[in-house]
Amino acid sequence: MSHPRVAGVGLTHFGEHPERTGRDLFADAGLAALDDSGVDPDDVESLFYGNFMGELAEHQGHQGPLMAEAVGLDVPATRFEAACASSGAAIREAVKTVRNGEADVVLVGGAERMTNIGTPAATDALSIAADDLYEIRSGMTFPGAYALMARSYFREYGGSREDLAAIAVKNHEHALENEYAQLRTEITVEDVLDAPTIAAPLGLYDSCPITDGASALVLTSEDYAENHGLDASVGITGTGQGGDNLALHDREYLARSPATAEAAEEAYDDAGIGPDDVDVLEVHDCFTIAEVLALEALGMYEYGEAIAAARNGETYCTGKLPVNVSGGLKAKGHPVGATGVAQVVALTELLEGRFPHADEVDGETAVAHNAGGTVASATVHVLEVVA
Residue among 284, 286, 241 at smallest CA distance from 141: 286
- Asked if 209 interacts with other proteins (CB under 8 A), we say no
Distance CA 274, CA 20 (A): 42
Cα separations (Å) of 2 from 103, 241, 273, 365?
13, 20, 16, 17
Contact mark string toward other proteins, 226..265, x via CB under 8 A: -------------------x-xxxx-x-x-----------
CB closer to other proteins, 117 vs 346:
117
Helix axes 22-37, 63-70, angle to 10 degrees: 50
Strands 234-243 and 213-220: unpaired
Q: Does 187 bind other proteins (CB under 8 A)?
A: no
Active site residue 317: no
The enclosing H or E element of 77 equals: strand 77-80
User: Any contact of residue 137 with other proteins (CB under 8 A)?
Assistant: yes
| 53 contributes a contact to other proteins by CB under 8 A | no
For the chain, the first-to-last Cα distance in angstroms comes to: 15
Told to judge if 208 belongs to the known catalytic residues of this protein, a careful annotator would answer no
Q: Which one of 35, 158, 190, 200 is in contact with other proteins (CB under 8 A)?
A: 200
Identity of the residue, 27 or 198, whose beta carbon is nearer to other proteins in the bound complex: 198
201 binds other proteins (CB under 8 A): yes
| Half-sphere exposure (Cβ direction) of 365: Cα atoms closer than 13 Å | 15
To the nearest 10 degrees (0 to 180), the angle between helices 161-175 and 288-297 is 90
Among 59, 196, 229, 276, binds other proteins (CB under 8 A): 196
DSSP SS3 for 102: coil
Least Å distance, CB 112 to other proteins, is 18
Q: How far apart are CA 304 and CA 282, in angstroms?
A: 20
Stretch that binds other proteins, among 138-146, 161-169, 171-179, 235-243 (CB under 8 A): 138-146
Query: Applying CB under 8 A, does 133 fall inside the site for other proteins?
Result: yes
Q: State yes or no: residue 182 binds other proteins (CB under 8 A).
A: no
Of the candidates 334, 357, 369, 381, the residue annotated as catalytic is: 334
Active site amino acids: 84, 334
Residues that bind other proteins (CB under 8 A): 119-121, 123-124, 127, 133-141, 143-144, 147-149, 151-152, 155, 196-202, 245, 247-250, 252, 254
